[in-house]
Amino acid sequence: MSRKISFRGRKEIITNGVEETLKAAQAFAEQLQPGDVVALSGEMGSGKTHFVKGVVEGLGGNPDQVDSPTFAIVNEYEARYSVYHMDCYRLADEEEATVIGLENYINSSGISLIEWPDRIEQLLPATTVRVTFDHVSESKRKLMIESGS
């Protein structure tokens, strides 16, 4: 499947608290197109799942339905486009991801938001948009958003 890149460039965003992270994610969601894959990297508690809530809301879905799919591996949310929220923390490698069918989500026309993407790096398309979350302080986060090739 050929993919276009809906987000181009590199952007740094500093957020001061959950509400600002949600608003940044809502603005980011406006740029997403069917088939986009977004890799979310950062320590536990850095804001990845809150960012997903903002993306879902920005796409017209219900953010209250969003929770971490650590044990389910994939949560699906209805919005303007189907949103697939994956948490690969518990996966051993790409082979395990393939066996459980994550490639089907990644190669679909939905929006794939993937936490712990390093576990399945070889399955990600070159056009993957990467969002890195860094703790600056207790409530402040630095988000680095970079487009794929």
3 state SS of 57: helix
pLDDT in tens, 46-92: 999 999 999 999 999 999 999 888 788 999 999 999 999 999 999 98
Q: List Cβ<8 Å contacts ≥24 apart for 125-129.
A: 125/3, 125/37, 127/3, 127/4, 127/5, 127/36, 127/37, 128/37, 128/38, 128/39, 129/5, 129/6, 129/7, 129/36, 129/37, 129/38, 129/39
3 state SS of 95: helix
Q: Residue 129's beta-bridge partner residues?
A: 38
- Higher-scoring residue by pLDDT: 148, 64: 64
Measured CA to CA, the distance from residue 92 to residue 57 in angstroms comes to 31
Q: Give pLDDT, residue 3.
A: 46
Domains and their CATH numbers in the chain: 10-146 (3.40.50.300)
Q: Sign of the CA dihedral 48, 53, 1, 72? A: positive
Cα 42 from chain centroid?
11
pTM of structure: 0.91
DSSP element (H, E) containing 87: strand 83-87
Average pLDDT over residues 3-13: 70
DSSP element (H, E) containing 52: helix 48-58
